[in-house]
Amino acid sequence: MPYAIIVYDVQADRTQKFLHYLHRYLVHVQNSVFEGELTDGQLVEIEDTLQEMLEPDESVMIYRTAGESYLDRSVYGNDPLDDQHFL
């Protein structure tokens, strides 16, 4: 299953719109940063929806890996993903 990290840079008054949308699929790990496993279909849906949501001078970056096991991830301090293991 693909693992994605999504980072967005949008106007301050529109960040909540992106936060609420992405929170349906991924874990909110930092301001404007989400990550987690997705199906291929979810990833396509998210890409299409985010492109439609963007206004001029805004951007979204999506980093993909084949799976979480292919990602070398280091966290210093509290890891927001730790909370997700208890759901």
Would you place residue 82 in the very low, low, confident or very high pLDDT band (cuts 50, 70, 90)?
A: confident
Asked whether residue 80 is domain-assigned, the answer is no
pLDDT tens track for 12-21: 999 999 999 9
Which CATH number does the domain housing residue 48 bear?
A: 3.30.70.240
Residue 39 belongs to domain spanning = 3-69
Asked whether residue 84 is domain-assigned, the answer is no
pLDDT tens track for 54-72: 999 999 999 998 777 777 7
Asked whether residue 82 is domain-assigned, the answer is no
Could you write out the three-class secondary structure of the chain? CCEEEEEEECCHHHHHHHHHHHHCCCEEEECCEEEEECCHHHHHHHHHHHHHHCCCCCEEEEEEECCHHHCCCCCCCCCHHHHHCCC
